[in-house]
Amino acid sequence: MSRVRIGIDFDNTIICYDKVFAAAALQRGLVPPGWTGSKTDVREYLRSKPDGERAWQGLQGWAYGKGIANAEVFPGVTDFLAACRQNNSSVCIVSHKTRFGHQDPDRTDLRGAALDWLRTAGLIGTEHSALSHNNVFFEDTQPAKVERLASLDLDVFIDDLVDVFAQPHFPRHVRAILFAGSGNPVPGPFKSIASWAEIQREVFRR
Ligand SMILES: [Mg+2]
């Protein structure tokens, strides 16, 4: 198999914020004591309440900035990156992430926070890391993200949002994989896959 060039989204594809959102919502008294749920559950719950949208945006400002330290690597990501190394594939991250959040009074540098998280998780910065710091790209807008991934001459791009694949300039020759999580498969011009173990089988099938 020839060397495969792989691009991966960051937020909610590599990094899982479920515990960050649940803990922050509890701590702010936005959900009842003992409440548990995913990031999506927190959003649905808050949006069903008066003024819930503002509370939700405030939580996001926290989660992607100061709260990021408690976020987790999605199960299977580390194995996938090891398989990339084994197969001599190149890997980069292309993320739509502004430097500062709109609803973050602390003005945390979100890109710096993401890089720190990647380093702490061991995904960049060690000789065994599959990723190099130079292969992490943050863009201000969704169209700029697609321009970037198009310029990297990728074979595969993996993202949790269909919006990326729906951009008119998303390159047609790039294999689009939607990391769909535990929900139902989503129809569209991409392959919808629920777990990183399955993504690994899909990308490195012989
Ligand atoms: Mg994402």
- Give residue-wise pLDDT tens across range 158-176: 999 999 999 999 999 999 9
> 109 is written with which tokens?
């540098």
Whether residue 104 has pLDDT greater than 90? no
| Judgement on whether residues 52 and 109 belong to the same structural domain of the protein | no
Residue with tokens 């992490």, as numbered in its chain: 136
| Judgement on whether residues 101 and 123 belong to the same structural domain of the protein | yes
The predicted pLDDT at position 130 comes to 78
Ligand 1 centroid–CA 166 distance in Å is: 14
- Parent domain of 33: 18-63
Q: Residue 149: exposed, middle, or buried by beta-carbon count in 10 A (0-12, 13-18, 19+)?
A: buried
CA–CA separation, 39 vs 60, rounded Å? 10
Q: What is the mean pLDDT of residues 14-27?
A: 96
| Judgement on whether residues 58 and 100 belong to the same structural domain of the protein | no
Ligand 1 centroid–CA 1 distance in Å is: 28
Report the chain's mean pLDDT, rounded to a whole number. 93
pLDDT digits (tens, 9 = 90+) for 113-147: 999 999 999 999 888 887 889 999 999 999 999 99
Check: CB of residue 97 under 8 Å from CB of residue 10: yes
| Judgement on whether residues 197 and 109 belong to the same structural domain of the protein | yes
CATH number at residue 146: 3.40.50.1000
| Judgement on whether residues 97 and 164 belong to the same structural domain of the protein | yes
Ligand 1 centroid–CA 31 distance in Å is: 24
The number of distinct structural domains making up the chain is 2
Ligand 1 centroid–CA 123 distance in Å is: 17
Check: CB of residue 96 under 8 Å from CB of residue 147: no
For Cα atoms 197, 76, 56, give the angle at the middle one, nearest 5 degrees: 115
Ligand 1 centroid–CA 95 distance in Å is: 7
Written as one letter, the residue type at 156 is V
Which residues, 6+ apart, have CB-to-CB distance to 167 below 8 Å? 142, 143, 146
